[in-house]
Each structure stands twice: as structure tokens, then as C-alpha cells.
Chain A
Amino acid sequence: MKKIADFEQLKRLVKPWLKKGIATNNYLLPDAYEPILRKGALYYAKAGQGLLLLVDHGNHFRLYYYLAGCNSRFLLPRTKPSAMEILFAAGDQSIQEIIAYWEGMGFKAYLSRRRMSVAAAAFTPGSPAGEEVVFADRRHAAAIHALLAASFDPYLGDLPTVDEIKEGTLRQEFICVPAADNKVKGVLRISRRRNVYLILHLAVAPQYRRRGLAGKMLAYFNMTMEKKENTAVRLWVQPGNAAARRLYEQAGFRDDGWEAVGLLYLP
């Protein structure tokens, strides 16, 4: 495993793999690499028919692969867990060969998710009335971090750091139901890429559940989002999370044909 120094080196490494017939789980666009390279957290490993990009997330490595076949043997990091997520169109049986390959390398499938989408015009989460819902500010960052860490997977949960939450509040990416002493009862995290909003996290602290807070945060988001003719909202949800799926379906979301499986390697 070797460190990637800069974007020029990354370009040279990836170039041979951007061709037809290569299997990959790397859908990162160029702007996603900038903060990773700035932190010196991007590495690579090569094997006969494959290239691995590894992003050091502190408690684990996130892996992105390019494979020309399922015969290569990579040397995986021994110092901490490695995790990856493989996205595929629902019903695509060819993905089973890739999953079996990584299972042969010691990975275990441990998380699955489905993507749901809704056009802004059909997004009907109701009203936030009856509860104080606001855009979070930096004072809420520590509480939001704690709630997300307690609610989502430590490896594939895409958990932001406290500093990233502080930066995100400046871009109004966090909606919360505030509690006393800068605590939060619930939080909704959003990102936006042009006309598509992505709901990254939605969590309510256990003692505040069954009060409709998740729906009220969605409603606040609906009231404040910028809507254009083709604006859409997307999210990923675990198929077994019936309560979350029901909430999203009531708000207008439907499965849109994309699924993901998370794989974890514990050295």
C-alpha cells in the first residue's frame, strides 16, 4: 500500500482502468478527491488484474476497486478494518461474482441499502408545526456528532467529524430539533449536487422517538429547499428498517432501482 501524493499521480494510476469491462465501485468525481489528498489520506495497492484505492478514515480504510477479473489477490491493511460499498442495479445477478470474490478475500457482507427518490413536486412530508425545527449552527456540532455516531454504522455510515459538521452548518446542511444546552433531539443532514438533494442522515435520539420529529425535520427541509422544475430528493435506507421506509414512503419516496451492499474486512 503506497500513498498517492497528488491528483496528477491519481490520474496516472486510474487512467488504464477507465475502460469498458472494468468492474468498479468508485463513483467519486474529481472534487471528492481534493479534501482526501489534502489530508494525505489516499493510498493505492496494485495486483495483477486490479487497482485498489484506499481512503484512510481514521478508524477504518474505505476501499474503491477497479477489477479486470476476479483473480487478483490484494494485500489488505492489517492495522484496521477495511470497508467498501458496492452499488448495483436491482436484479443485477453479475454482482454476485464480485461479492463472492471479496468474500474469498476475507470480507463479509454486513449491510444492505436501497435508494429511494422523489421529485420535489411529489415530496409531501407534511408540516413542521408543533415543534421548533431550525437549521443547526456550530453550537450544535458536538451533539449532532454524538447522535449520528450512536445511530449509524461506524464504517459505512459516512459519519462527519465535528469540524465537518461545523463547516456544514455554514452551508445549512444540518436541520435539527434543538434541546436545552446545545443538545439536539434529532438531526437531518442534507447535501446538494445541482438539482439533486441527497438526505445523508436522519436520526432522532431514542428518548424523543414516536413524536413525529423525523417527519417534522423532513417537512422543514421541504419548506426551505430550493425547488426547480426537475429538482429531486434521494436517500439510501436499509430494507429492514421498516419504520424509516414507512416514513419515506409517506413523504412520497419510492425505490428507484439502485441497491448497495456493504462489505467489511476485519484483520
Chain B
Amino acid sequence: MEKILLAILAEMNLAVDFSGEKNLIDDGILDSFDIIALVGELNDAFDIDIGVEHLLPENFNSLEAIMNLVKKLQAER
């Protein structure tokens, strides 16, 4: 999952070392534009339904947080 996620983030052309970042939102590396674009990719790649209610900065602040959200939604499927 981590490899797929890193590939998606790399494809979004964001020049960031995501594997080492813990504050993607807090540090302004990702903003709401990026979150919305990322959600479409994640929903498609992992067959999950990220909804409006999940668009919270804490769900996208690190690679780990994004993976936790994906895992949680996969478990709820």
C-alpha cells in the first residue's frame, strides 16, 4: 500500500519527500486543492469511498495518516 501511495503522490508532481514528512498539511505542503485531487486518486486506487466528512487535515498530515484512513475505509467496506 505504501508503494502505491508514494507512486500516487509522486504522480501528483509534488516535489516533497513524503516518506519523511509528518506535517503535510500543517506545513502547507498539501492544501485543500491537493487533498481533493488526492481523494479521487485514493478512491480509485484502493476502491474506497473517502467522503466529505473525511476531508480533515489530520487524515492527510502524513503518509501514515493517509494509510490509516485507507485501511480504516477498506475495513469498513
Contacts and interface: CB of A to CB of B under 8 A. Distances in A.
A166 to B, nearest CB: 26
A29 B56 contact: yes
A150 B41 CA distance: 42
Interface residues of A, number: 26
Interface string B34-47: 01100111011000
Given A15-B49, A29-B56, A30-B53, A232 B44 contact: no
A194 B26 contact: yes
Most buried by B among A7, A11, A19, A26: A19
A27 B36 contact: yes
B55 interface: yes
A230 interface: yes
Contacts of B49: 15, 18
Contacts of A258: 33
A195 B26 contact: yes
B50 interface: yes
B33 A26 contact: no
A222 interface: no
B33 A27 contact: yes
Contacts of B52: 7, 10-11, 14-15, 18, 30, 33
A179 interface: no
Contact of B40 (A21, A30, A196, A234): A21
A22 interface: yes
Interface in B12-42: 23, 25-28, 31-33, 35-36, 39-41
A2 interface: no
A232 B30 CA distance: 12
A194 B61 CA distance: 11
Given A29-B35, A195-B23, A15 B41 contact: no
Given A195-B26, A232-B28, A26 B43 contact: no
Contacts of A28: 32
Contacts of A26: 36
Contacts of A133: none
A101 to B, nearest CB: 19
B31 A196 contact: yes
Nearest to A13: B52
Given A15-B51, A87-B33, A20 B40 contact: yes
Contacts of B31: 27, 196
Contacts of A14: 51-52
A112 interface: no
Contacts of A232: 27-28
The 9 closest A-B pairs by CB, nearest first: A230-B27, A196-B28, A20-B44, A27-B32, A20-B40, A194-B26, A232-B28, A195-B26, A14-B52
